Amino acid sequence: MDQAGILREYAGNAGVTGGRDASTGRSKKSGVRVIAVTSGKGGVGKTNIAANLAYLFSMQGKRVLLLDADAGLANIDVLLGIAPRYNLCHVLRGEKTLSDVVVRGPGGVMIVPAASGIQEMAELSRGHKMTLIEELECFGEKPDIMVIDTAAGINGNVTYFNMAANEIIVVLSPDPTSLTDAYALIKVLNRGYAIRDFLVMVNMARSAEEAMRVFSRLSAATDRFLDLRVEYLGYVGYDRIVTESVRQQALFTEMYPSTRASRLLGAIADTLMNDRKSRSDEPGMLKFFGNAVITGNE
């Protein structure tokens, strides 16, 4: 058996996902759905979208784990005004367990804070990835959904976390460079990692029409040059409420649940929860296992 096979077996025995129930012999997928929020260009609103989506899912009764996978600066903890003692770095170094570092955010969302500005986190080694997988496996409170806030761009961590996801939400803004950068990211994920399905949302649009125009430009390019599917999820308008809640270190969907931005993101959360089920036949956590073997330096 190859390494990926051994790991899958291990995952099955340990009862993660995709294993078999000893009594029934049926596949017992735990059904953890992994959703990555990503973008080509920075500053398009990924962290805000990821954190607010996580909150909206938890309001629908889901157990949600929000993983801050951006090793850059100022992330979910800053957005929420929390000062966690430990972060992902402690887990990856084997100093703490996932349970030790998880902090509860709004709506009971379980947050794994990022290791900001630490050079060794910039490109996770294979050992780090294995540790993360083991920690997710041993984590007592199995989430229904794991939302991953990735860094912008195309470094190794970004591709890794996108590969590990069942669904990838690419966030665009009306800025033309966001479009070209998103196209470049999608192309790399498609050509280099055989990912063929992408969900797209537009943030900070001035109107529904503008958002649709932005999406159409992207889909025209992907349809023409790449063999993949981009699906429009919806948009969130440019809204001072978002900046205001960032200033107050709170989530706009929690603070201002009935404003336009919250309703638009709520519609996207509903679409993800109700109208479209995860398309992947491979549970995300299991993908984590396989991909950790395929990628990563020693």
- Residues in contact with Mg ion by CB under 5 A are 46-47
Q: Which of residues 59-88 bind ligand ATP (CB under 6 A)?
A: 70
Q: Which of residues 195-214 bind ligand ATP (CB under 6 A)?
A: 203-204
Q: Are the CB atoms for 254 and 216 separated by under 8 Å?
A: no
Q: Which of residues 107-166 bind ligand ATP (CB under 6 A)?
A: 152
Strand partners, 167: 35
Q: Indicate the residue among 137 and 239 with the shorter CB distance to ligand ATP.
A: 239
Q: Indicate the residue among 51 and 91 with the shorter CB distance to ligand ATP.
A: 51
Q: Does 239 bind ligand ATP (CB under 6 A)?
A: yes
Q: What would you measure as the largest C-alpha separation in the chain, in angstroms?
A: 55
Q: Does 47 bind ligand ATP (CB under 6 A)?
A: yes
Q: Which residue, among 112, 48, 118, has the nearest Cα to 82 in the 3D structure?
A: 112
Angle separating helix axes 156-164 and 284-294, nearest 10 degrees: 140
Distance of alpha carbon 145 from alpha carbon 35, whole angstroms = 7
Q: Does 185 bind ligand ATP (CB under 6 A)?
A: no
Applying CB under 6 A, the site for ligand ATP has a residue count of 19
Q: Which of residues 253-272 bind ligand ATP (CB under 6 A)?
A: 261
Q: Indicate the residue among 19 and 40 with the shorter CB distance to ligand ATP.
A: 40
Q: Which does 170 bind (CB under 5 to 8 A by kind): Mg ion, ligand ATP, none?
A: none
CB of 106 to ligand ATP, least distance (A): 15
CB of 28 to Mg ion, least distance (A): 35
Q: Which does 259 bind (CB under 5 to 8 A by kind): Mg ion, ligand ATP, none?
A: none
Selected from 48, 87, 116, 157, the binder of ligand ATP by CB under 6 A is 48
Q: Which does 77 bind (CB under 5 to 8 A by kind): Mg ion, ligand ATP, none?
A: none
Report the 10 Å Cβ neighbour count for 108.
11
Q: List, edge to edge, every strand of the sheet that includes 229-237.
A: 103-104, 110-112, 64-69, 145-152, 33-39, 167-172, 197-205, 229-237
For 16-22, which contacts have Cβ atoms below 8 Å and span 24 or more sequence positions? 16/136, 16/137, 16/285, 16/286, 16/289, 17/283, 17/284, 17/285, 17/286, 18/282, 18/283, 18/286
The contact set with ligand ATP (CB under 6 A) reads 39, 42-48, 70, 152, 203-204, 236, 238-239, 242-243, 246, 261
